[in-house]
Amino acid sequence: MREVAVIGVGMTKFGELWTKSLRDIFVEAGLKAIDDAGVDHIDAMYVGSMTPGLFVGQEHIGAMMADYLGVAPIPAVRIESACASGGFAFRQAFLDVASGMNDIVLAGGVEKMTDGADVTYALSTAADQEYECYQGITFPGLYAMIANAYFEKYGASRKHLAMVAVKNHKNGALNPNAQFQSEITIDDVLNATMVADPITVMDSSPVSDGAACVIVTTVDIAKKLKKPIVKVLGSGAGTDTIALHQRKDILSLEAVRIAGERAYKMAGIKPSEVNFAEVHDCFTIAELCIIEELGFAPRGKAGELTEKGETSLNGKIPINTSGGLKSKGHPVGATGIAQIVEVVEQLRGNAGKRQVKNARIGLTQNMGGSGASSVVHIFTI
Amino acid sequence: MREVAVIGVGMTKFGELWTKSLRDIFVEAGLKAIDDAGVDHIDAMYVGSMTPGLFVGQEHIGAMMADYLGVAPIPAVRIESACASGGFAFRQAFLDVASGMNDIVLAGGVEKMTDGADVTYALSTAADQEYECYQGITFPGLYAMIANAYFEKYGASRKHLAMVAVKNHKNGALNPNAQFQSEITIDDVLNATMVADPITVMDSSPVSDGAACVIVTTVDIAKKLKKPIVKVLGSGAGTDTIALHQRKDILSLEAVRIAGERAYKMAGIKPSEVNFAEVHDCFTIAELCIIEELGFAPRGKAGELTEKGETSLNGKIPINTSGGLKSKGHPVGATGIAQIVEVVEQLRGNAGKRQVKNARIGLTQNMGGSGASSVVHIFTI
């Protein structure tokens, strides 16, 4: 396999982008990434998107985005793994370059969620329609069950969830691309409207529009372009039962653990060598479970780690320096790529007020559904 | 890049499979392919599907199918490029194995179209929603415009379209997995209900359920397994404007031409060296245009070639020996993989009554929308 690097990144602001269409926002992010990389062409393209068919009545967006980005007739295809679509799109771009098939590849992600579709229904198609959704449960309810089981087993409380939201908003307030650039308090979360006990609306990531793109090439080509080279050290992916109730343990995110293990193995590093990470905090409880699966906290201790400030910007292992899904926003197909945009900006030392000190190794973890799919990448500069 | 081979194939019967769900049919095809390959595990999986979200309310089917096939936690992801989703899923499996990331990979395709969804709307999401569908046009109308332009420019007629349908039904009548196993006449096509002049219902592929899967590995591993080895000689993909009216020439399927050129170049062969091909006859006019773009007929001469019987089972270049989309059926996401199933069966000499003599090199061509994306693979034994 050829060594692979990221040489360009670009994203739109995340939020309610009512004046821009699906194609507009993808092209905006794509042009920024191409400009940042300083390349004069791309050879292939992967577009992560969860359900543009249900959100805006448009499928076939690999070809459409190649057309509107002005790069047709290059090969272009859409990659879907629910909310992990962006992360998997990056993985396919990585494999494409690593294989020797193409030299310069764009991996992007996009979603337009605020154009009037039934968002809860559209998102519920990431769960098991026959055995979960038809019975009346959607994602806040699924994560609420995980949270209650977590509280029961480890003695954590709603305050620990709230601390995740507070930290991520604090980071998001420093990110000009974030949907919510405002700090919040523990009480704001605890007193917010309950969605599915114990998950309040402030424990939940928002409904967002947005796009993000990165340019991937070989390390050899990157050197010739004289760009800051962010190397891809490892790529891991995994799957689990699509229905939460079919797992041996609903607190165990097997797909995350396995994706992490594979990425660590490929990178040849241990979790303790990671300096910072972007993880999939679709709900606050998810961040706690994920950082345990990735080896950043012992089992049941993620709340404590958060409480001690170790996952904050100046902590031992800063988590979601971008603001995460909670504060930066969660246009589902774009999220996995936006995580990589943040890690690249941090490794380049370009993250401004939210810059992590001595950022040498960064990790991204993107997840679909209640954890039925996950993908992890590890980067270094 | 490592040399890649197909060592197992499996598919369901195509048709109205009302007693089986989306997951049932994928698993049926997957188990057949795994059994055919004789492997005891797979390392990763790619699932081509156009719009399970709109057809049956289920996205995230990469993870779901890994779960139901009993192969989780392997990496699994869905690939979408409208009706070319299956062909692109195969291409990703090919790249995965070629890159060295995984050794034994399943590429599958599935669609469940007859469960009550608005099929015309769901399929129209492969066209440009804003500039085509919202103006009232859907695919029969788009292909009708291509057909009328073709008639005008080359002097072909509805009889030439009908000959494609007659030939493909003749082949499909010999295929136990085909949706329609009955021969038809020229008059049956000419007198059928008009959908969009000159396209009748008998010029159109049907609405179908079905799944198909293949197992891909390296040539080296295939040799050790002592299975018939069907080598992948070439893979090419291309894109074009998503909207038909934006092309310089609506008779030119640039994505098909480019995908073909790339596949021929990689395989190191000329079109004249191909012995038979499966092409994307979603409407009869498509088959004529495609075999010209692939170099099997001079421009404007595909109708004449068909009339002479050169694309029939015993002709110079048999096209759609399986019955094609027209007669075998067109569960959109499954089609690209089912084409590969047919080519593998022919190359192995297992195609029964529809066996092509001296089948040494076979080609598959899969297409999305009105030609905005296309993917071509070339195989040999």
Q: Which of A169, A280, A330, A377 is catalytic?
A: A330
Sign of the alpha-carbon dihedral angle for B193, B196, B199, B203: negative
Question: What would the two tokens of residue B109 be?
Answer: 């395709």
Query: Which helix or strand (DSSP H or E) is residue A379 part of?
Result: strand A373-380
What number of other Cβ atoms are within 10 A of residue A176's Cβ?
Answer: 8
Residue A59 has its nearest CB partner, among B99, B126, B237, at B126
> In terms of residue numbers, what domain contains B324?
119-204+233-380
Tokens 């440009």, located at residue? B128
Q: Does A88 touch chain B (CB under 8 A)?
A: yes
CB contact at 8 A, B343 and B349 = no
Going by their DSSP bridges, the two strands B209-218 and B199-200 should be labelled as: unpaired
Q: Do B82 and A63 touch (CB under 8 A)?
A: yes
Average pLDDT, whole number, for chain B? 97
Does residue A245 have an active-site annotation? Answer: no
B181 and B112, same structural domain? no
- Strand ranges in chain B using DSSP code E only, listed in sequence order: 4-11, 44-48, 76-80, 105-112, 194-196, 199-200, 209-218, 230-239, 276-278, 361-368, 373-380
CB atoms within 10 A of CB A248: 8
Given an 8 Å threshold on Cβ–Cβ distance, is B54 in contact with A53? Answer: yes
Mark yes or no for CB contact A239/B368 under 8 Å: no
**What tokens does A82 get?**
């629910």
Question: What is the model's pLDDT at position B226?
Answer: 87
Question: Based on the domain organization, do B369 and B282 belong to the same domain?
Answer: yes
Q: Which residues of B are catalytic?
A: 83, 330
Residues near A44 by beta carbon (within 8 Å), at least 6 away in sequence = A74, A75, A76, A93, A96, A101, A102, A105, A106, B237
The per-residue pLDDT for range A250-294, each reduced to its tens digit, is 999 999 999 999 999 999 999 999 999 999 999 999 999 999 999
Inform me whether the C-beta atom of residue A342 falls under 8 Å from chain B C-beta atoms: no
Handedness of CA A239, A242, A247, A250 (dihedral sign): positive
Out of B51, B60, B99, closest to residue A53 by CB? B51
Residues B193-236 have pLDDT tens digits of 999 999 999 999 999 999 999 999 999 999 999 888 999 999 99
Calpha distance A184→A167 (Å, rounded): 9
Q: Are residues B16 and B140 in the same domain?
A: no
- Interface membership of B281 toward A (CB under 8 Å): no
How large is the average pLDDT for residues B240-255? 97
Domain harbouring A25, CATH code: 3.40.47.10
**Which residue, among A239, A254, A261, would best test binding to B if mutated, counting the most B CBs under 10 Å from its CB?**
A239
| Distance to chain A for B57, nearest Cα, Å | 6
- Nearest one of A221, A185, A230, A207 to A351, comparing CA atoms: A230
Answer yes or no: do B182 and B222 share one domain: no
Long-range CB contacts (< 8 A, 24+ apart) of A310-315? A311/A167, A312/A167, A312/A170, A313/A170, A313/A171, A313/A354, A313/A356, A314/A357
Q: Are A240 and A27 in contact (CB under 8 A)?
A: no
A74 with A130, same domain: the answer is no
Q: Which residues in A lie closer than 8 A to residue B218 (C-beta atoms)?
A: none
The verdict on a CB contact (< 8 Å) between B63 and A369 is yes
Q: What is the rounded distance in angstroms from the CA atom of residue A148 to the CA atom of residue A87?
A: 28
- Is A268 in the same domain as A295? yes
B306-343 confidence digits (pLDDT tens): 999 999 999 999 999 999 999 999 999 999 999 999 99
Q: pTM for the complete prediction?
A: 0.98
The H or E element spanning position A266 is helix A254-267
Task: Please name the member of B63, B258, B372 whose beta carbon is closest to the beta carbon of A60.
Answer: B372
Span between the terminal Cα atoms of chain B, in Å:
19
d(CA B377, CA A372): 31
Same domain, A251 and A166: yes
pLDDT digit string (tens) for A113-151?
Answer: 999 899 999 999 999 999 999 999 999 999 999 999 999
Residue A155: predicted pLDDT: 96
Q: Are residues B184 and B226 in the same domain?
A: no
On whether both A237 and A301 belong to a single domain, the answer is yes
Centre a 10 Å sphere on the Cβ of residue A191 and count the other Cβ atoms it contains.
12
- Residue A95: its chain B contacts at CB < 8 A? 92, 95-96, 99, 101
pLDDT higher than threshold 90 for residue A299: yes
Q: Say yes or no: A162 and A127 in one domain.
A: yes
Please enumerate, as own/partner, the contacts of A295-298 that have beta carbons within 8 Å and a separation of 24 or more: A295/A260, A295/A264, A295/A270, A295/A271, A296/A271
Domains of chain A: total: 2
CB contact (8 A) between residue B101 and residue A95 = yes
B240 in contact with chain A, both atoms CB, cutoff 8 A: yes
CB-based contact B369 A63, cutoff 8 Å: yes
Measured CA to CA, the distance from residue B165 to residue B153 in angstroms comes to 22
Place of tokens 């009328």: B148
B9-60 confidence digits (pLDDT tens): 999 999 999 999 999 999 999 999 999 999 999 999 999 999 999 999 999 9
For residue B55, CA distances in Å to A58, B50, B130 come to 14, 9, 21
- Looking at the structure, tell me whether residues A28 and A156 fall in a common domain: no
Q: Do B53 and A53 touch (CB under 8 A)?
A: yes
- Looking at the fold, whether B139 and B94 belong to one and the same domain comes out as no
Candidates B126, B186, B184; CA nearest to B159 is: B186
Query: b or e along B106-127 (b: 16 or more beta carbons within 10 Å of the residue's beta carbon)?
Result: bbbbbbbbbeebeeeebbbbbb
Taking the C-alpha atoms of A330, A260, A125 and A20 in order, what is their torsion angle to the nearest 10 degrees?
30
